[in-house]
Chain A
């Protein structure tokens, strides 16, 4: 349906078209979105735990986690509130390397990412491994600021950005695909930006 009188000049340059998913627009800044106040987690108090259901498999403190092999990922990110940002540079620990350090294979097909503020979000395990996702520690070469999820946030850049949980403090492997915080509140279980899976009513 064409909107009467709407002729915007805000079209993306044509060479970028193929990088902007449907319904998204290109953003130069880096907006902040979250469900509550910004937690300020001190690295002295920080830890990261892998769990299977309620059972902890391994925990790292800040120093131990930073000693794991670090990788860089520069990716386009897509927020469900309709902005897309190109070429965001992150550095951190690939989920593959976290699993390797724990000496385990992914035990189940589903994962909940858990955060210090009680937030959680579900991601199929296969979307976290084989070089697809990391726990990011640096953005543009600097520690991630608290409003963007520092000290550490999950980075799953091929899904809508709410899946990249801020203030992450663990991954919990689950037997079933269990909805996380936003998924319980109307957001999509998977969240593929290229299929516009924003809300639970989207196919």
Chain B
């Protein structure tokens, strides 16, 4: 096997096989759906059939009487329940009012899923309808009913950011443009549906098998919702069938399963159906965005004024906080001296948005990169030169306070443009716009900036590691970082092996049990490789130092003269093997000096934390990328085919080439779905297409050719120089495709998705551009 090297070249940058892949490809991995807990009951949730209504009465008597039913609960049975979620505005079981179709009214625990479903059908709910707030306009109307106490105007959250003076910026501008953009609903579509297993032991300790991305912080969330001591909660994460941000919050089904476990005294397993997954798991944040931008005749950007209104849905989850990321792109992707940014997230009776890979950045980049293209044309510059003129460089501290210590942005632009033959094709395709025939080609570019060195959304961003080496030189790495399919387990093992000169098989990673693993703030914000990676390296270096110190004593050589390679202690200079590591460790374990258990924590280096005005640094490093999309547009059908994506990504350094390629390719295709095929149709509070037949994910025949180049800027703080990359590849695709359609047809489309019907209408002048309805 390639990884089992002799006294060895570096593992960094190699194609390392994912540790969990053989088991997964054999169908032997046991996801939450596959776990059998002896004695477990099966739970189902009754959801509202009204979009907005008072609950007048709930009759559960017939359901309770059904044989095989162990519990039927409503809010009345759990008077101690507390609100959950980012806005703490959401009771797991609704008391007197439902605010969206997904709302949980009752739940059943029964011997089988079938009995639980039959019981749900026996529950009678009487509603008194209330007016439906179907969109933000209705919700902002002066006479609109208030959806939540203490939230006048149905405002869930607002965000304001300012730098410089946009009025002055506008005065200094030779060109000023303003447009409104509309971004739609999409949802995560994890292939494994949501689920949880809850059980209490006789002492009242809660064990949760959960797919959460945030095990440690969610212990506290659950404890608060349940009114119990967080120290009595243990969370085990089985392998997770996809997450992409969807598991960053807690949702009603989790406390509900816990209520049922508590009330029945039995383990309770609750799994969604696919339809439920569409209806009751979070979405990406839909946004209406007004952007006003300007530049000088020489192409220097002068100002940006941005106003956005977000349909928050009925409750508040992380989706409401995406402006935090959006404003970074607006203020700091390119150098802009003057910026003004305002967002309001407005409660409606629609589904509510959570966090989703890219976290607001897809929406912000869509608007910003449309204006980069339009401004360039207005001043007669090509899109590449215009972007290069305004692109950030290493060493920059932006007016928002972000510090770009490593920054390969200009290289990303140049590389992606050169490899895609952007300038030549752009000119050639533009010249073809009026040529006969319905099928036209176009090429478009977009770039992105995203956190790549952790994210200080909490007071700090840390991760712990415990590393032990047994007497056969087998390493167990216990890390707080969760694996969600992205390959963190493998990259952490790789970083440890690099330090200790061991093959990948010599490492077992334990990463899924809060009683064992050290603290971490969760898998999000592309932070795991950077934060958990640095933490793992710290532990491995401690182990290395201990081993070399002992070896120096034994050999009489200095520690500096020794090294670890190929599973041996070696002479550093010559690579000569001195002794086999396992054998040496056996000796050490029997001595009184061993202590071969290492602990470390890594926290991001000190920096200026963001203040209330959102000024400060949010990450120890930032990732950059430019993606160029080439499309074919058929004006007779409205079909847009994505032919090729040329990406250049500043990733700091490639650690596992196989893993990072997979992240980029998967992200590109997710971005393609966002742009071209996916559309969660929300119509007056109702999701019209809660299934894969009508909600179209990209399939294999449609994927583009992908040409990906990694720009290695070797970040000084990154583990082996690496930066985070998980979210980056999905961010630019829709923006680049919009620019490509413009290049192909001369038509600028301001609203997503670019499904055939929308594109056809836009190309034939039958679609009005989005109007600003976000208020004054």
Partners in one complex: no
